[in-house]
Amino acid sequence: MASNNFIDYVKINCRSGKGGAGSHHFFRAKGLPNGGPDGGDGGRGGHIILEGSSQLWTLLHLQYQKHLIAKPGENGGENLRSGAQGDDIIIQVPLGTVARDAETGEKKLEITEDGQRLILTPGGRGGLGNDHFKSATNQAPSYAQPGEPGIDEWVILELKLLADVGLVGFPNAGKSTLLSVVSAAKPKIADYAFTTLTPNLGVVAYRDYKSFVMADIPGIIEGAAEGKGLGTRFLRHIERNSILLFMISCDSPDIAAEYQVLLSELQQFNPELLEKKRLLAISKSDMLDEELEEEIRGTLPTDLPSVFISSLTNKNIQKLKDMIWEALHAE
């Protein structure tokens, strides 16, 4: 997933089709000049529909497709012929896509399954023909319903990556390196802050051909909730993760304080994130001897499982996988 092609937010204009008008036709035939009403119903206007696709990872294909306009329904005809429905527009989106009203921010729908189809903007209902309005006291109604208008609205689509584990940490905590070691993902890795500018996904192989999905989120810093660094734009990608794996480098001057800063930024972004299961990995621990490791262990938070790892030497990488798997499948 190339960073310059990762688009997780688009704003599009959706116009559903107008419903066709009902017909107010009367049957006419030789020898039957005063036949009854036989006007058919108008067809429904086209919907705009979102369909989930497991083959997509980004909203890039919608970045330059700003206007989606569905076809109107056809008018009803004689002999009770209904008008054809307007063609629907079906837009494929990655799993984890949320649609919101651009004006109110209200959530409209959410796509989470492959092949799932939900109507984003419904087409107008077709009008009823005059045949529906005949009665004993009105045997020749000369009116029919017009079709309902379509809906013209602006919609925001935002992507929240679906992953089992989300990596949370400051820049240069070793998140991308860990992902590259435990999966086939190839995130950019360099010795400077904010190397990761977009989220990366990797499938982590586990024992007996099992696997889980890990998401590497761009690093956050203190003040991210106020827009510092990369802000909290990408934190929505961990809202659906089952587990949050906090990664802090062993050379941090105060690991416990850094962990509290990360928790604080998550809480300001979305307090519900603190309800997720958490693990703590102390990275780059190949630089530590046993004495230093034991000293640091005594300063770690006691309210969550922790492990010292090294992506360079594979130290405790399997143990970390075991901890993640156990947390994912705990009751």
Report the C-alpha gap between 43 and 75 in whole angstroms.
6
Tell whether 166 is in a known binding site.
no
Tell whether 211 is in a known binding site.
no
Q: What is the pLDDT of residue 241?
A: 82
Quick one: what percent of the chain has pLDDT higher than 90?
43
Report the C-alpha gap between 116 and 58 in whole angstroms.
17
pLDDT of 162 > 90? The answer is: no
Tell whether 310 is in a known binding site.
yes
Q: Are 109 and 189 members of one domain?
A: no
**DSSP, residue by residue, 27-82:** --BTTBTT--B-PPPPPPPPPEEEEEETT---SGGGTT--EEEPPPPPPP-STTPP
Tell whether 107 is in a known binding site.
no
Tell whether 21 is in a known binding site.
no
Helix, strand or coil, per DSSP, at residue 204:
strand
Tell whether 26 is in a known binding site.
no
Contact 265, 274 (CB under 8 A): no
Please state whether beta strands 211-216 and 165-169 pair in parallel, antiparallel, or not at all (unpaired): parallel
Q: Could you give the maximum distance between any two Cα atoms of the chain, in Å?
A: 108
Segment (H or E) for 243: strand 243-249
82 found inside a domain: yes
pLDDT of 222 > 80? The answer is: no
Question: Other C-beta atoms within 10 Å of 326: how many?
Answer: 11
Q: Are 212 and 320 members of one domain?
A: yes
Tell whether 135 is in a known binding site.
no
Quick one: what percent of the chain has pLDDT higher than 70?
89
| CA distances for 244 relative to 135, 157, 166, 328, angstroms | 66, 24, 5, 11
Q: Which of 117, 137, 159 is the endpoint of a domain?
A: 159
Q: Are 14 and 151 members of one domain?
A: yes
Tell whether 95 is in a known binding site.
no
Tell whether 3 is in a known binding site.
no
Q: Which residues of 171-182 are buried (b: 16+ CB within 10 A; e: fewer)?
A: bbbbbbbbbbbb
Tell whether 149 is in a known binding site.
no
Domain count across the chain? 2
Structure confidence at residue 91 as a pLDDT band (50, 70, 90) = very high
Please state whether beta strands 165-169 and 243-249 pair in parallel, antiparallel, or not at all (unpaired): parallel
Between 139-143, 193-197, 204-208, the lowest mean confidence (pLDDT) is in 193-197
Residue 75 sits in a domain whose CATH number is 2.70.210.12
Tell whether 172 is in a known binding site.
yes
Q: Are 178 and 303 members of one domain?
A: yes
Tell whether 216 is in a known binding site.
yes
Tell whether 170 is in a known binding site.
yes
Question: Other C-beta atoms within 10 Å of 13: how many?
Answer: 15
Tell whether 175 is in a known binding site.
yes
Tell whether 218 is in a known binding site.
yes
**Higher-pLDDT residue of 288, 31:** 288
Q: Which of 159, 174, 200 is the endpoint of a domain?
A: 159
Across the chain, mean pLDDT equals 85
Structural domain containing residue 220: 165-329
